[in-house]
Chains A and B, each alone.
Chain A
Amino acid sequence: MTIDFGIRNAPRKFAKTLAAGIALGMLALPGAAAAQERVKVEWWHALGGRLGEVVEKLVTDFNGSQDQYEVVAVHKGNYEENMAAMVAAYRVGQQPTIIQAAERGFMTMLNSGAVVPVPTLMEEQGHDVDWNDFIAPVSGFFLVDGVPAALPFNSSTPIFWYNRDMFKEAGFDAPGETWQEVEKQLYAIKEQGVSQCSMALANDFFWSLIENYAALHDQPYGTLANGFDGLGTEFVFNKSPLVVGQLERLSKWMDDDVLQIAGQGLSPEQLFTSGTCATYVASTAAHAGIGSGAQFDWSATFLPHEEGVEPKNSTIGGGALWVLQGKSDEEYAGAAAFIDFVASPETQVWWSKQTGYVPVTTTAYDALKSEGYFKENPTREIAILQLSRGEPTENSRGFRFGNHNQSMQLLVEEIQGVWTGQKTPQEALDNAARRGNEILRQYERLHASQ
């Protein structure tokens, strides 16, 4: 999952759309009848920058592959803005047919009463999708009563990015496997003057360094199997000495200037790709940006774990495609055709190569393997290997918390209190759990009658 805190390129996009519109209009003149018959299917998504360009290509390819439907992709901003725009539109009946929602919005979407489950849609529209083909860690998150509630679209997991040039200069071949080893290396990089910034803090660090840390170390984040077993779940991450220890470590790094916040006006990924910071823990989807932007020998590896601990799988992040209610049958037919296109092995292989997101089906994964793609690009396989490592436990399967977006924002706010020195890590996590539990109770009360 990436959070796009940048400014949107609205004017450029508008110009592009305008140009495309004019071009389409001119093309349409001779065969106007044929062009008018295309059913427009609106899709609101949250991918900007390099990923946004790939999305546009995907849509163009789909529109070129058939002549019945035209998917119109609209970039509404980051995941939260996309969701807010959709909710506002839904309340006045102006919703798009397809919406991309983040994994954090899963419960909100699932219990909204506003969605058409994707398997139902595909069945009604006569598409045969083999749901068993979806790789376990991805489908495991999205399954409700045996079938996924939405189409896993851009699935990712955090990995450990590093600047190999800097590691070599400091005398290391590669990052260590444990946090203890990594800590020594980061301090060495700083002390030897290789870099003033050993690690850039990702904007979604709560996901890569806290939530996934809990999953990887089999620590309960919430009760009732992290919310999978019911709305009565409560946050307990503050009671795990390991999670508290992780925050203490990050806080110490921050105080020692080993870990740096990018702050507003700058993306942390830029700090890494510009060669300022030596490491960066972020989504595998950063492949798109780092691959095209970094001018040094970069690489990536698995997330570190504590000494003497057998690490579990990490959890997925990213978005899924949900289909909303209240659209016409033609639009649903178009949506189903598009989803079928997205889920096809060819698209999955292409999408995964272009972006760094994991291929969501076994067929696509096998296709990439058999063409030797991972031999040439070993960092591309890290995410999927890390996601499917070992047998998932209740603590590593994922998270299902109502209004998780709210409790996440509170967690970030509380952790910022640690960065500013106003709170100890234990206090911050206690506060975050207490405030998060209020949100869970509120959600439970509102949805109890289901």
Chain B
Amino acid sequence: MPRSNATAGIGGADTRPPLAIGIALSRLLPKTSEAGLKTAHFSKPGLAAALLAPQLLILLFFFFIPSYKALSLAFVQVDPFGAREIFVGFANFAQLLGSPDYRQSVFFTLWFTVIQAVVTIALALLFAFATDFVIRGRGLYKSVILMPYAIAPVISGVLWAFLFNPAVGPLAQFIQSLGIPWDPNRRPFDAQLLVIVASVWKHICYDYIFLVAALLAVPQSLLEAAKLDGARPVRRFFTISLPLVTPTIFFLMVMNVVYGLFETFGIIDAVTRGGPAGATNTLVYKVYQDGFVQLNLGSSAAQSVILMIIAILFTVLQFRALERRVNYQV
């Protein structure tokens, strides 16, 4: 009680002690700062279960059962037709971790995912911020940014591959005419750059939609107050808008990482096929190549288990590291 007395004393409002205690506690214990969002719950558990059921069923069929299958395959070597199977323990994992090619793939996947996620968010933020300043043709501006989302990854991948093909691609020839060597077939870095650019281009629109909506939700009163105080647009953006849209950015970070890890498959398949010399072979693409093209199911299953572990770690890490800085209350 001495604590509450003290706060009450400071607040000087004897008529509202419970609220004062609440505020004091929330300041002292950071965890309860999100109390408003996280403590909401259903009073009838049956309804909650019914509402959750469809999602849980989807998870069961598309996550838990496949995960179980992958786990069971990861420890065997198996003939593709399923006729022969030998238990090999951790041999599939040992072989992967001992292989320089696999380590190269892990390394590339990690930096590809991080760079892709950061660049996508940065550009989407820039475009979203600029939306307010586009007066004429704002509809057109938005449609141009949103358009890539409507194009199938394989189609856009083929277009990128063609445009930057050193033999026939107009953009490749433009780059070469500037005296810059460009050949994604023979220069690994060019291929990696191309894959990153294509993935970012494909995903900007997704981030853009969320960020435009988030920026619209920033209270006008705050922005106007800052304006009256003489803050210029960029300053207003960094000191008011940006902190207020951090929850969205955090969410998009997670989504971008998931996108980079898993959904860039179509683009890589069309743009580089993992080459040259495995330079753009991401973990997911390797799972596909080894499992579905080369029919090496044991190794492919082991890879997908490792991938799953990486994805879980990444997400946990992000929640831990980033969520603390996220302000959920407006």
Contacts and interface: CB of A to CB of B under 8 A. Distances in A.
A403 B294 contact: yes
Interface string B59-77: 0000000000000000001
A445 B80 CA distance: 14
Contacts of A276: 167
A405 interface: yes
Contacts of B26: none
Contacts of A5: 273
Contacts of B185: 261, 263, 419
B79 A266 contact: no
A446 B294 CA distance: 16
A111 B295 CA distance: 14
Interface size, B (range): 35 or more
Interface stretch (B1-9, B141-149, B276-284): B276-284
Contacts of B276: 416-417, 419-420
Given A114-B81, A261-B185, A265-B169, A403 B295 contact: yes
A90 B165 contact: no
A83 B297 CA distance: 14
10 contacts: A7-B154, A254-B186, A260-B167, A261-B185, A263-B165, A265-B161, A266-B161, A420-B279, A439-B296, A446-B86
Contacts of A265: 158-162, 165, 169, 270-271
A413 B83 contact: no
B202 to A, nearest CB: 16
A438 B96 CA distance: 12
Contacts of B101: 413
A112 B79 contact: yes
A367 interface: no
Given A416-B276, A420-B279, A445-B86, A87 B167 contact: no
A122 B185 CA distance: 47
Contact of B273 (A7, A264, A438): A264
A347 B2 CA distance: 100
A271 interface: yes
B277 A262 contact: no
Contacts of A12: none
B154 A420 contact: no
Interface in A84-126: 84, 87, 90-91, 108, 111-114
Contacts of A445: 77, 86
B10 to A, nearest CB: 68
A87 B80 contact: yes
A250 to B, nearest CB: 13
Nearest to B83: A113
Contact of A413 (B161, B166, B277): B277
A257 to B, nearest CB: 10
Given A5-B273, A7-B158, A406-B295, 9 more contacts: A84-B293, A84-B295, A111-B79, A114-B83, A264-B165, A265-B158, A419-B276, A420-B188, A445-B86
> Which of A81, A261, A409 has the most C-beta atoms of chain B within 10 angstroms of its own C-beta?
A261
Nearest to B80: A87
B186 A264 contact: no
Per CB-CB distance, the 5 closest pairs between chain A and chain B, nearest first, are A265-B161, A265-B162, A264-B161, A416-B277, A417-B277
B275 A112 contact: no
A345 to B, nearest CB: 34
> Which of B165, B169, B277 has the most C-beta atoms of chain A within 10 angstroms of its own C-beta?
B277
Interface in B265-316: 270-273, 275-279, 289, 292-296
Contacts of A114: 81, 83
B294 A409 contact: yes
A403 B298 CA distance: 14
A447 interface: yes
Contacts of B272: 264
B167 A271 contact: yes
Interface of B: 77-84, 86, 95, 101, 154, 158-162, 165-169, 184-188, 270-273, 275-279, 289, 292-296
Contacts of A83: 295
A197 interface: yes
B80 to A, nearest CB: 5
B271 A264 contact: yes
B296 A403 contact: yes
Interface of A: 5, 7, 80-81, 83-84, 87, 90-91, 108, 111-114, 197, 254, 260-266, 271, 276, 403, 405-406, 409, 413-414, 416-417, 419-423, 438-439, 442, 445-447, 449
Given A263-B165, A420-B186, A84 B292 contact: yes
A446 B84 contact: yes
Contacts of A423: 277
Nearest to A421: B186
Contacts of A416: 275-278
A37 B292 CA distance: 37
B277 A420 contact: yes
> Which of B80, B169, B296 has the most C-beta atoms of chain A within 10 angstroms of its own C-beta?
B80
Contacts of A260: 167
B293 A262 contact: no
Contacts of A266: 161-162, 165, 167-168
Nearest to B289: A409
A91 B277 contact: no
B83 A112 contact: yes
A305 B292 CA distance: 36
B316 to A, nearest CB: 33
A80 B289 CA distance: 10
B187 A420 contact: yes
Contact of A414 (B158, B271, B277, B292): B277
Contacts of B83: 112-114
B164 to A, nearest CB: 8
A204 B153 CA distance: 26
A438 B83 CA distance: 21
Contacts of A113: 81, 83
A40 B162 CA distance: 41
Given A263-B185, A413-B275, A414-B277, A112 B81 contact: yes
Contacts of A264: 158, 161, 165, 270-273
Nearest to B184: A263
Contacts of A90: 81-82
A447 B83 CA distance: 10
A260 B83 CA distance: 43
